[in-house]
Structure 1
Amino acid sequence: MSENKKFPNQVAVCGSSSPGVGIAAGPPHEALFLVLSYLPLFELLSMGAVCVSLRDAVEHDVLPWLHLVVDRPLSSRLNDYILGRIARKADGRLRTLALINCFKISDSALHEVVQNNPLLTKLYVPGCTSLTPEGVIRAVETLSQHSHNLNSLMIGGIYNIENEHLEVLKYYLLKNRSQQQQQQQQQQRRLYHKDIEASKLLRNECVAMIDVEMCPKCQEMGRVYDCSRERCKIKQEQKFGAECRGCSGCVPRCEECGGCVDGDETEEAVCVGVLCTSCWLQLPKCNHCNKPYCTRHRQNVASSSAAGFVCEVCIET
């Protein structure tokens, strides 16, 4: 009996075949289409290179491309040409464009993408150092003319941003926001320990309208944080103005609770940053150096047990 007659009902997965067996490629499983939209860009592109069936599924399904997030390790490789090719996969229906530290992207490439995707609601370009303030304003203005969907913008790390640029950007963004959203924006407080990366903000609707403002202390553009301490919060609510409101360079803050700290209550952590005495006492500490990790960097614990852990610094030394 021939091999073909032994296995008449055998179906190949993703177009694969075995020697001596004539097998027709089958379509991807229906569940695959539900998974695609949740894959990060790197994994999505990798899946398209597995086989013909998966490549066709990735190429022809618009849903995975509606929220385009480019982060490491692809940030350094993305250029204007590649961005244009990837953005076209959304077929003009792109909703989120997040280019994290993509330093090769130019103003012209950004403008082309926003011009072809008027439904954008989130534009995140932090660390895109080849962009100019004028280029960002042009992109936001284009989106505001075509529609009023854009309501969140990230531009931290772009050079030469002045207060005049910021006022123009706020003008367009406020036009796109409802009265309720504007009130929520005024009541929203940015806390240092709850500030997360742009790539993790995509499914968070409570996002600041714009990520930078002028620090009241150093008068430089950057992320300005409110204090989590109750006494400072009361001062700010009573319009007295909290003295500890400012950027991280002007006001040292606890990595764990986000409260302001002074020299008398500053404690060292294994990770970069400082802790207040109260948080330092509550966190588990390295068996050798007696320093803790903050919650944000606790995954760096190399070895741990019921008896404690040893930090990566002590292991290396």
Structure 2
Amino acid sequence: MKDILAVEGVCRSLRDSVRKEPFFWRTIDLGGSPLKERVTDDSLLKLTHRAQGNLQSLTLGGCVGITDNGLMQVLASNPRLTKLSIAGCLKLSTEEVLSILRDLKSANRLGVKTFITGGVLYFTKEQFKELNLLLGADANAVPKSRKKRFFKSSRSEFSLEDDRVTDIEICPRCERPGMVFDCPGEACPLKDNPCPKSSCRACVVCIERCLDCGSCLNDCEHKPLFCFAFSCVVCYRKNLKSEA
């Protein structure tokens, strides 16, 4: 995207060539764009129209200006879109997004098979089951492959590299739908001192995570005793040294 937009600004002939060629717009990734916070429903619709209905992948990481109505228009005009990421789109609501997917499914115009939320939507068990059905998956099926996921502050760039259709899954602790993370520590205190279900893999509601390294903070010897609640002691000291 960055290169395409740069070429577009070189001269009028290149601008016209780039804008009229749908091949360049089959994949639109605004996650790394410095303009992502300025993207509106109208500008997104104009941008996706350049694909001429051939848009296949859309990443809206951090596009805080996108609303439910804007997303609906984009999906309705791009039935070939198979991969969608709305991480960081804080104006979207769970009920409305499900309603959009439901309406498109009934009209046989829903192409989305991979849906990344980045944790901006909160599902009940019933909603999570419906989401999987809309995406063509079984919510109760056990994935054949699940790569480890580590908590980072840059969750807007969260992606799927296994056979799941969404980054939401059932937490093994609270058994509620959410983003579930693994512990990156080789000698995790929770593993040495087993907690319920003998696992430190859980959602962030069940286990607090360090924003820098992703290690667990619950019942952990690295948990700080004073107020830098979202960093472990090790990362806090590293940050102090880097700032010195």
The TM-score, its normalising length taken from structure 2, stands at: 0.72
Shift of the alpha carbon at 1:149? 4.2
Distance 2:222 2:242 in 1: 25
Aligned counterpart, 2:220: 263
- Counterpart residue identity of residue 7, structure 2: M
Map of 1:73-84 to 2, 5 A cutoff?
73-84=34-45
Aligned with 2:204 (options 248, 265, 279): 248
Q: How does 1:167-186 map to 2 (within 5 A)?
A: 167-175=129-137, 185-186=143-144
Identity of aligned residues (%): 27
* Alpha carbons 2:183, 2:214 under 8 Å: kept: no
Decide whether aligned partners of structure 1 residues 105 and 121 sit closer, same or farther in structure 2, where only a CA change above 3 A counts.
same
What does residue 85 of structure 2 align with? Answer: 124
Match of 1:51 in 2: 11
| Match of residue 242 from structure 2 | 312
Contact 1:100-1:198 at 8 Å conserved across structures: yes
SS in 2 for 1:83: helix
CA distance 1:157–1:193, change in 2 (3 Å) = closer
**Equivalent residue for 1:95?**
56
* Deviation (angstroms), 1:144: 3.7
Match in the other structure for 1:154: 116
Shift of 1:153: 0.9
Matched, 1:209 2:185: no
Cα offset, 1:313, TM superposition = 1.1
- Tell me how far apart the structure 1 counterparts of residues 11 and 220 of structure 2 sit (CA, whole Å): 59
CA drift at 1:65? 0.8
1:97 is paired with a residue of what secondary structure?
strand
RMSD: 4.0
Deviations 1:125-178 (A, max 9, x none): 12212222122113323454426742211223435543332221012123499x
Q: Greater RCO between the two (CA within 8 Å, min separation 6)?
A: 2
Query: Can you give the 5+ residue segments of structure 2 that lack an aligned partner in the other structure?
Result: 225-229
Rg larger in structure: 1
Following TM superposition, by how much is the alpha carbon of 1:55 offset from its aligned partner in structure 2, in angstroms?
0.5
SS in 1 for 2:36: coil
Q: Could you tell me whether the CA contact under 8 Å between 1:48 and 1:54 is conserved in 2? A: yes
Q: Is 2:127 the counterpart of 1:165?
A: yes
Change (3 A) 1:129 1:79: same
Change (3 A) 1:176 1:263: closer
For residue 129 of structure 1, give the secondary structure of its aligned residue in structure 2.
coil
**SS of aligned partner of 2:207:** coil
Which of 182, 195, 209 does residue 226 from structure 1 map onto?
182
* 3-state SS in 1 of match to 2:38: coil
Letter aligned with residue 100 of structure 1: G
